[in-house]
Amino acid sequence: MTAKLKIFILGGGTAGWMTANLLAKAWEKQGVSITLMEAPDVPTVGVGEGSTPYIRRFFERMNISESEWMPKCHATYKTGIRFTDWSTTPGFQHYFHPFTTELDNVTFNLFKHHVSLRRQGLNIHVHPDDYFLMTRLANNFQLPSSNDFVKQQTFYAYHFDAKLLGDYLKNKALEQGVSHVEGKVLGVEKHPNGDIAAVHDQSLQRFDADIFIDCSGFKSLLMQKALKVPFISYGDTLLNDAAVAIPTAAEKPYCPQTLSAAMPCGWRWKIPLTQRTGNGYVYSSSHLSAEDAEKQLRHSLGADSETNAAHHLKMKVGRNTKHWYRNCLAVGLSQGFIEPLEATGLQMTLVTIEQFITHFEKGKYTNEYQDNVNNGINAAFDHIRDYVSLHYLANSRNDTRYWQDCRNDIAISDSLKRVLEVWSQGGDLEQELNQQNISQYYPSLSWFAILTGMGIYPKTCTVDKKEIERFHKARANMASFFNNYITPSGKGNSAQQHGVVRYA
Ligand SMILES: Cc1cc2nc3c(=O)[nH]c(=O)nc-3n(C[C@H](O)[C@H](O)[C@H](O)COP(=O)(O)OP(=O)(O)OC[C@H]3O[C@@H](n4cnc5c(N)ncnc54)[C@H](O)[C@@H]3O)c2cc1C
């Protein structure tokens, strides 16, 4: 690349500012001119408080330490997600989906062995909550040690205030020389070959660029509207299309986990931040009105929520057929969205920018590798959708039509069908996930956690006394193994001051 690359980013939500930071950093040596425009009268979506461990790559790439950004964004650590009331099977009404540590490799093998015995029909209770250190730590309101070695061996993520993170990223981008313009894009001008030449704002000012990044949110003004790239809805698989959020007071000490509790027509999140607790109800508007959703959420939050305003949102769930097309890249909600059950929004944002940078450079700043990027991102979206949809498919609630529809009336991809067949026929789940190349999106531990955590087992029949004795012995050994790594003080240790609590 000889001339300085000119990039225009449309939208100043988390996606826009994250993109601005990463592109400015990636191409700071050769020089790049980046302008970001946002419309002051079009608010950002303003939610999105959970993340996956993948987000740590962003802060590592940007060389930003936890002690710098976390206090500014009221952030807390997240060691996994606790699911409650999705299953009515006795003994399986709740489970924890943990982010793992290296130490879990030891107990994961034991877990798989016990799961396999249980799948063969041995009458033993095998639940994921008993097997993973992160689960024990979270139950004890504790976090992994801040020791560098442990940190590298441990997957963990964060909760944060989305608005504050946006502000923080904006300041960082401005420090890196990104230009910020307030204005509203009303028109798009194209080159004869169909590429975008420029956008025009409300005062007919023209902004040209080599590359346009669409971060305009669900409107997808450049990719879907101007370039007419088709959008594939996931509405036949994921029924939820609305949400209502209401904050409550901060909990001290906080439990370092996201809570995902099933509700009559969806689920509610509870996310601990240092200065407040984020709550929201994600639901299907075909099964529940916005008014009733708010009532149900307030009811479950109790008096604590009475004086706090509710924020209602609509969700467009699905993905574009292409994310990088012509001279435009769509990032964030403008490229697609999987409902927030597994908090994968910012992960997809980050993956998209990383893939774009890598392949744009590899193609010597041309579109040569566009198809590779689009295929990879489409596969990631579809496989994450499958994993999220399994939570609904596996539910055993009968209290509302919503939960029955989630079980009986949704589309299942061929890939997920095959995974479920292998599971129900007693086959090798890990082998299937590897064969289908799915483990890169969700590792086998996650699939085991959801299937066993919701009690998806054959009805038991065999009683082999020796095998059952061996099972209890192994479980007792495991309990003492865990005790070596957990401080006895438990609750009340200062997890809330993102001073981390050590294993021992
Ligand atoms: C209910 C819900 C819960 C979520 N939870 C999570 C979560 O836990 N974890 C997670 O990772 N993600 C989550 N997400 C997704 C996350 O919120 C988004 O990925 C993230 O906020 C990025 O949004 P965005 O920047 O793409 O869009 P937005 O925040 O909508 O920003 C759009 C920007 O475009 C600008 N704009 C729009 N039109 C124009 C115009 N004509 N001219 C100029 N500018 C314009 C706006 O001013 C704004 O700055 C959640 C989303 C929802 C809806």
Which atom number of ligand 1 is nearest to the Cα of residue 40?
47
Residues with Cβ within 8 Å of 256's Cβ and at least 6 positions away in sequence, in order, are: 76, 77, 78, 79, 137, 138, 141, 142, 143, 272, 495
Compute CA distances 212 → 11, 331, 351, whole Å: 11, 11, 18
Residue type, 337: F
Ligand 1, atom 16: closest residue by C-alpha: 48
Q: How much is the pLDDT for 314?
A: 98
- Which tokens go with 305? 């929520």
The pLDDT of residue 155: 87
Q: How far is the CA of 47 from the centre of ligand 1 (A)?
A: 8
Evaluate: CB of 20 within 6 angstroms of ligand 1: no
Ligand 1 neighbourhood includes 341 CB (under 6 angstroms): no
Which protein residue has the closest C-alpha to ligand 1 atom 49? 12
For residues 262-284, give the mean pLDDT: 97
Tell me the one-letter amino acid at 370.
Answer: Q
CA of 455 to the centre of ligand 1 (A): 35
3-class SS of residue 275: coil
For residue 489, the model assigns a pLDDT of 55
Q: Is residue 177 a contact partner of residue 24, using CB atoms and an 8 Å limit?
A: yes
* Percent of the chain with pLDDT strictly greater than 70: 94
pLDDT tens track for 44-73 = 998 989 999 999 999 999 999 999 999 999
- Residue 62, SS3? coil
Q: Residue 252 pLDDT > 70, yes or no? A: yes
What was the pLDDT predicted at 175?
97
450 has pLDDT over 90: yes
CA quadruple 56, 57, 61, 62: dihedral positive or negative? negative
Q: Are 495 and 257 in contact (CB under 8 A)?
A: no
Give the separation between CA 173 and CA 180, rounded to whole angstroms. Answer: 9
**What number is the average pLDDT over the span 430-442?**
96
- Strand order, beta sheet including 32-38: 179-182, 32-38, 5-10, 211-214, 328-330, 324-325
Task: Output the pLDDT for position 36.
Answer: 98
Beta strands in 48-125 (DSSP E): 76-78, 80-84, 94-98
Tell me, in angstroms, the distance from the centre of ligand 1 to residue 14's CA: 6
Q: Give the C-alpha separation, 13 to 216, whole Å.
A: 8
Strand pairing of 211-214 and 324-325?
unpaired
| Predicted local confidence at residue 102, as pLDDT | 76
User: Does ligand 1 lie within 6 Å of residue 166's CB atom?
Assistant: no
User: Distance, CA 217 to ligand 1 centroid (Å)?
Assistant: 5
Place of tokens 């509302």: 400
pLDDT over 90 percentage in the chain: 85
Alpha-carbon distance 14 to 158, whole Å?
15
Of 93, 126, 125, 90, residue with least CA distance to 108? 126
The answer, yes or no, to whether any atom of ligand 1 lies below 6 A from the CB of 39, is yes
Name the residues annotated as catalytic.
Answer: 78
Backbone φ and ψ for 20, nearest 5 degrees, come out as: -60, -45
**Atom 38, ligand 1: residue with shortest CA distance:** 216
Q: How confident is the model at residue 34 (pLDDT cuts 50, 70, 90)?
A: very high
Which stretch of DSSP H or E encloses residue 181? strand 179-182
Evaluate if residue 463 carries a pLDDT over 70: yes
Ligand 1 neighbourhood includes 44 CB (under 6 angstroms): yes
Q: Nearest 5°: CA angle at 286, between 281 and 288?
A: 45
- Cα–Cα–Cα angle for 116, 138, 145, nearest 5°? 105
Q: For residues 282 and 290, is the Cβ–Cβ distance under 8 A?
A: no
Check if 276 has its Cβ closer than 6 Å to any atom of ligand 1.
no
Give residue 103's pLDDT: 74
- What are the tens digits of pLDDT across the range 341-373? 999 999 999 999 999 999 999 999 999 999 999
Q: What is the mean pLDDT of residues 402-431?
A: 97
Predicted confidence band at 148 (pLDDT cuts at 50, 70, 90)? low
Q: Are 82 and 94 in contact (CB under 8 A)?
A: yes
Q: Say how far apart CA 461 and CA 129 lie, in whole Å.
A: 23
Question: Is any ligand 1 atom within 6 A of the Cβ of residue 38?
Answer: yes
The amino acid sitting at 215 is C
Give the nearest ligand 1 atom to 215 CA.
Answer: 26
More confidently predicted of 146 and 305: 305
Mean of the pLDDT values across residues 144-152?
Answer: 64
Q: What atom in ligand 1 is closest to the CA of residue 186?
A: 41
Give the β-pairing of 5-10 and 32-38: parallel
Give the residue whose CA is nearest to atom 33 of ligand 1: 11
At residue 266, does pLDDT exceed 90?
yes
388-407, pLDDT tens digit by residue?
999 999 999 999 999 999 99
Q: Which of 188, 254, 247 is nearest to 223 (CA)?
A: 188
What pLDDT is recorded for position 133? Answer: 87
Top mean-pLDDT range of 143-152, 408-417, 484-493: 408-417
Mean pLDDT to the nearest integer, 219-235: 98
- 185-209: pLDDT as tens digits: 999 999 999 999 999 999 999 999 9
**Which atom belonging to ligand 1 lies closest to the Cα atom of 42?**
47
* Partner residues linked to 199 by β-bridges: 188, 207
Pocket flag, ligand 1, residue 336 (CB < 6 Å)? no
Residue 9 CA to ligand 1 center (angstroms) comes to: 14
Question: What is the model's pLDDT at position 151?
Answer: 61
Q: How far apart (Å, rounded) are the C-alpha atoms in residues 17 and 37?
A: 10
Tens-place pLDDT, residues 114-142: 999 999 999 999 999 999 988 988 888 88
User: What is the residue-averaged pLDDT of the chain?
Assistant: 93
Separation of alpha carbons 303 and 249, rounded Å: 11
Distance 216 CA to ligand 1 centre (A): 8
Band (pLDDT 50/70/90 cuts) for residue 496 is very low
